[in-house]
Amino acid sequence: MIEIKDLHKSYKTGSTALHVLKGINFSVAEGELVSIMGSSGSGKSTLLNILGMLDEADAGSYTLDGVPIKNLNEKIAARYRNKFLGFVFQSFNLISYKSALDNVALPLYYQGIKRKERIEKAMSYLEKVGLTPWASHLPNELSGGQKQRVAIARALASDPKVLLADEPTGALDSKTSHEVMDLIQKINEEGRTILIVTHEHDIAQMTKRIVNLKDGVIIDDNKVNQVKALQNV
Ligand code: ADP
Ligand code: MG
């Protein structure tokens, strides 16, 4: 689904350049649930933004569902983004004056789907995340965990191939974090490919594979069950 080869990224500020990604190689198969772990500043968001086509690498290659992602014009990039990718952020990024239902339905509006179908689809995704009774509520009437579940429903509404989440539990207490991760696991079990960025070990442990990033390189790439098996020896 995702294939990355020798990816490099630097940020230039004035005369100095900060080399953030220093040759990243990895691939993700369809149906995987992967976490990208690393301390603050290790380049996790930079990598996720490149995977999400929100930013471009300086060197290396990226192939998404067989499509080489390079030098795309903004229009084509936007089309691929809408078709392939769903995003979830730490800060939810909901529209404050729109109801939960309208937040979920909005991406469908941009896809040109008619109102009746938008509402039906949005309701079905709200049901999937357990928020049917909250459909007409505004974001500020929802708890943090509920807001993140609305954001997840919104990300799923356009039926993306891959769900990308940058610190999806970063603003939540630990009980709520685990509930959101339970939901992410459930969505993965239905076959959706999911990548999450986190710096929390217990969150990463709830994924099937942990990719450890340090100083711009992958220092570890483990299937969790293999790690657990080794620890049990
Ligand atoms: P993480 O998500 O792991 O905390 P980031 O990918 O956000 O790390 O950042 C990696 C490094 O790149 C940090 O040192 C950060 O300050 C720097 N950085 C991130 N974005 C930019 C930017 N747009 N311009 C300059 N430096 C940046
Ligand atoms: Mg980050």
Instruction: Answer yes or no: is 7 within a domain.
Output: no
Domain presence at residue 17: no
**C-alpha to C-alpha distance for 210 and 201, rounded to whole angstroms:** 10
Q: Per the domain annotation, does 22 fall within a domain?
A: no
Within-domain flag for 2? no
Q: Rg of the chain over CA atoms, in angstroms? A: 18
Tell me how far CA of residue 138 lies from CA of 86, 99, 146, 180, 205, in angstroms: 22, 4, 11, 19, 33
Closest listed residue to residue 192, CA positions, set 79, 17, 34, 21: 34
Q: What is the CATH number of the domain that holds 41?
A: 3.40.50.300
Question: For the segment 37-77, what is each residue's pLDDT rounded down to a tens digit?
Answer: 999 999 999 999 999 999 999 999 999 999 999 888 888 88
* Ligand closest in space to the Cα of 11: 1
Q: Is 23 part of a structural domain of the chain?
A: no
The total of structural domains in the chain comes to 1
16 CB near ligand 1 (under 6 Å): no
**What is the per-residue pLDDT across 207-220, written as a single tens digit (0 to 9) for each?**
999 999 999 999 99
List phi, psi (to 5°) of 119: -65, -45
Distance, CA 18 to ligand 1 centroid (Å)?
A: 9
Q: Is residue 61 part of a domain?
A: no
Q: Is 20 in the pocket of ligand 1 (CB under 6 A)?
A: yes
Helix axes 100-110, 144-157, angle to 10 degrees: 20
- Whether residue 8 is contained in a domain is answered as no
Q: How far apart are CA 64 and CA 61, in angstroms?
A: 10
Residue partners of 190: CB distance under 8 A and separation at least 6: none
Distance (Å) from CA 37 to ligand 2 centroid:
10
Any atom of ligand 1 within 6 Å of the Cβ of 42:
yes
Q: How many CB atoms lie within 10 A of CB 215?
A: 13
- Position 230 scores a pLDDT of 59
Structural domain range at position 49 = 32-54+72-232
* pLDDT for 229: 55
**This prediction's pTM:** 0.92
Could you give phi then psi for residue 217, rounded to 5 degrees? -130, 155
Token pair recorded at residue 161: 């191939």
Q: Is 231 in the pocket of ligand 1 (CB under 6 A)?
A: no
What is the pLDDT at residue 197?
97
In a domain, 89, yes or no: yes
Share of the chain above pLDDT 90, in %: 85
